[in-house]
Structure 1
Amino acid sequence: MSASSPRDKFLALFPKLSQELLAYLRAESMPAEAISWFERNLQHNTPGGKLNRGLSVVDTVDILLCTDEQGNKVKQLTEQQWEDAAILGWCIELLQAYFLVADDMMDASLTRRGQPCWYRVPGVGNIAINDAFMLEAAIYHLLKLHFRDRPYYGHLLELFHEVTFQTELGQLVDLITAPEDDVDLNRFSLKKHHLIVVYKTAFYSFYLPVALAMRMVGINDESLYKRALDILLPLGEYFQVQDDYLDCYGAPEVIGKVGTDIQDNKCSWNINIALENASPEQRAELDKHYGQRNSDSEAKVKAVFSAKNIDVEGRFKKYEKESHERLTELIKELPQNVGAGEKGIGLKREVFTSFLEKVYKRTK
């Protein structure tokens, strides 16, 4: 298969998987309008994002199977190995689509990836609830179709079920901590923020791609999954703190959106840093203006963020430096190719350094 980039090659597989899913509906004698609707659901919600999570499965399998002890590329994935990894990657993208369709309804969001949120497409409305369920169910149909005869099939099912539950727990804590129509900064804390971002983001965005790749290549030592988790969860937390920071301080033309966390009453890292360091007067200002849907209140919150005693920007730079140092040390502590069995396939440091390099000091 020739394509101009790894992303293009990955994208080129999606029509085949879509047709497999639609073939199931046809085999069940679903009416033409239902088949057409599901196809629109798949196309609108699945392939339009950055695809980082899905591509990370392919990248991780490539590192585990095709690099030597020094991290040098020594061979290429076979087409079957690449396709297996890419299918698992698309299953994560379907999981992401399921979360986003539901999340947009819960948050009453207007746009997603530069187009109307699915529930806001004319004629969709609350049918989007069922459409979200169908995106999730599609994962398990594809897993059954492609991996049922593999020895690690049960582990794949377990990973998707467990990580889905963990992500939904994170969403629950987020929703009850920071409802948009009930601003109460007493609910916020850095501890609560940590819980939300680890469960809502880190498990499915960082741990799941690596764990799926490890299962696919035959790494069975359970202690290695714990070691991977110990690196990937703090890495995912660092990524989300970056996201929170960029929402407030990133250039809209670079990050591709205008930040709305302040007006949306988000339990972000920025507000929690401000709450920890605010004077009584500054706290009163935050209580009055945070979560208010107007630009004047947003400007007043940002002014508090910039105060000398709070200095969200300066504290983020310090946090970023310390996070990079801590993550680098955690990766160094991992022996190279640890757990390699008779086939010589173990867990390699490059899996984690490649993740860290992608996110360190990112601007979007």
Structure 2
Amino acid sequence: MAALNGAATDLKSTFLKVYSVLKSELLHDPAFEFTDDSRQWVERMLDYNVPGGKLNRGLSVVDSYRLLRDRTDLTQDEIFHTCTLGWCIEWLQAYFLVLDDIMDSSHTRRGQPCWFRMPKVGLIAVNDGILLRNHIPRILKGHFREKPYYVDLLDLFNEVEFQTSSGQMIDLITTIEGEIDLSQYTLPLYRRIVQFKTAYYSFYLPVACALLMSGENLDNHVEVKNILIEMGTYFQVQDDYLDCFGDPKVIGKIGTDIEDFKCSWLVVKALERSNEEQKKLLHENYGKADPACVAKVKALYKDLDLQGVFTEYENSSYEKLISSIEAHPSKSVQAVLKSFLGKIYKRQK
């Protein structure tokens, strides 16, 4: 714990120190007899997959807890425990991404080759995903077993994992190769995929962890959950918009939703607004890797003024979210929700 001195000054470096502590504990877990080879494998796998992202989900546990307690100066113990829960979310994210990349036959993730495409890894990555998943209860047991909310934490992670993998299933069975059918892409289907696949673990889970640590009962915070799920939906709509209209230099990747036949908010809106001729153009060109087909779809999006439709959606979503947040009786909960919304409103990447 001495490693955490000076924590308030630089949250990210403190957060990364906690990663090193947790990694070391996992590499010396007494439940398994490690060989040198297996320990090196797990360490390399963790370093490659867990800390490489923006760490927003994990860091927001710490931010949310601070705002809920209305204190900037957390104790060493509180900092360590909030960071630890944040890392459990990053571990969950790594587990989803390692397996998701295999399912999607992806090539790159976070600017480097997907883990399963690394030399000597291949489908061993499936088992690595299972290991990442199993590290979470090991970490929780090691640091929260004596806490009154320990069982609630286990329940929370299990439930969110179930919701996310069920959302992934809807997404996968909607885009089965050789059964491409645009007519099933509707707003209700889109919302279900997004809520379950993204919103629960990316938006609700960090705040729920902070609420449990603050001694709150999650059953009393259903409205907070609903607001965060709406926020997660708005976040994904932005993501879909940026995939097509964002600047690749700013967002750090070239969007491929059109080529990949994704159930994107843009294609759902295009189908809603198209006449028969435009629908025919979409059916003929959507989901094809040919750059000419992609260009036709993008031109149609412009003709249908989807940029204007998105701006309208963004403004009305923001207003709705703000009024839901301000209706919440607790000022500290309002602060948490506004902090989340502030990070994503009108983002460019």
Whole-Å separation in 2 of the counterparts to 1:29 and 1:348: 45
- The 3 A distance-change label for structure 1 pair 221 and 242 is closer
- Are 1:5 and 2:10 counterparts? yes
SS in 2 for 1:348: helix
What does the per-residue CA deviation read over 1:82-124, in whole Å, with 9 as the maximum and x for residues that have no partner? 1100000000000000000000000000000111100000111
- Are 1:36 and 2:30 counterparts? no
Residue in structure 2 matching 1:165, options 151, 162, 167: 162
Q: Tell me what 1:120 maps to.
A: 117
TM score, norm. by length of structure 1: 0.92
Which residue identity is paired with 1:302? K
- The 3 A distance-change label for structure 1 pair 186 and 221 is closer
Unaligned stretches of 5+ residues in structure 1: 68-73, 338-346
Q: Tell me what 2:334 maps to.
A: 349
Q: Tell me what 1:198 maps to.
A: 195
Residue in structure 1 matching 2:147, options 146, 150, 156: 150
Residue in structure 2 matching 1:269, options 265, 286, 296: 265
SS in 2 for 1:319: helix
- Are 1:281 and 2:277 counterparts? yes
Cα offset, 1:33, TM superposition: 1.1
Query: Would you say how many aligned residue pairs link Structure 1 and Structure 2?
Result: 344
Which residue identity is paired with 2:184? R
Contact 1:193/1:267 (8 A) holds in 2: yes
What does the per-residue CA deviation read over 1:161-219, in whole Å, with 9 as the maximum and x for residues that have no partner? 00000001100000011235542212211111000000000000000000111001101
Residue in structure 2 matching 1:95, options 62, 70, 92: 92
Unaligned stretches of 5+ residues in structure 2: none
- Are 1:60 and 2:64 counterparts? yes
SS in 2 for 1:28: coil
Q: Tell me what 2:23 maps to.
A: 18
Q: Tell me what 1:326 maps to.
A: 320
Q: Tell me what 2:206 maps to.
A: 209
Cα offset, 1:27, TM superposition: 5.8
TM score, norm. by length of structure 2: 0.96
- Are 1:359 and 2:344 counterparts? yes
Q: Tell me what 1:340 maps to.
A: none
- The 3 A distance-change label for structure 1 pair 110 and 182 is farther
- The 3 A distance-change label for structure 1 pair 189 and 75 is closer
SS in 1 for 2:28: helix
| Backbone CA RMSD of aligned residues | 1.3
Q: Tell me what 1:312 maps to.
A: 306
SS in 1 for 2:84: helix
SS in 1 for 2:73: coil
Cα offset, 1:356, TM superposition: 0.6
Contact 1:180/1:265 (8 A) holds in 2: no
